[in-house]
Amino acid sequence: MLSLAQQRAAMVERQLQARGIVDEHVLAAMGEVPREVFVPERLREFAYEDGPLPIGEEQTISQPYIVALMIEAAGVAPGDRVLEVGAGSGYAAAVISRIASEVFAVERHPTLVESARKRLFDLGYQNVTLIAGDGSGGLPDQALFDAILVAACGFAVPDPLKQQLAIGGRLVLPVARAGQQSLLCLRRIGEAEWSEHDLGHVRFVPLIGGHGP
């Protein structure tokens, strides 16, 4: 039976590197953060399996590969200020915090926010601000952000999130199109200009809020 640390290392090698994740910052962060801390205790033995897991409130912790893919696609780098919408158990925010300088993570379920705050405090991750509320409109008081990641799916890209992205920054989020979800990466290349590319099919919980679905 592999230890959790060994399972984590195997996850990085087999689920991330083998699928094309190459960003060294992402690989190191995924190898550092203990995913088992961010899932219900009864599911900790499954923490490094290749799939999502339930975390309560009808929410899930995303598959490790999807977390890594989104962070890599968003181009998160040292010194960045990052916004995450749909923080869930706090796992992705924890991973991002090992790379970026400052992370703001919004989650609409107060119970999940409370438990995520405790996990991050216990781990000593002090550069994450967790906020309970509607993240679909972003955090205008904290904008601009170098990267924005959204872990919930709507039918369009919320305009407030596009406007809160710094020029040169990237927004990664799932959007429902033609009956299926696609993970999109938008890069702001001017005051009113964005480029877009599709990262493939995904499955996320719905984006609920004033600027969703």
Residues carrying an active site annotation: 62
Residue 188 and residue 168 in contact, taking contact as beta carbons nearer than 8 Å: yes
- The reply to whether omega before 140 is within 30° of 0 (cis) is no
| Signed CA dihedral, 45, 150, 87, 82: sign only | positive
Q: Mention every residue, 6+ apart, whose C-beta is less than 8 A from residue 6.
A: none
Query: What is the C-alpha radius of gyration for the chain, rounded to an integer number of angstroms?
Result: 16
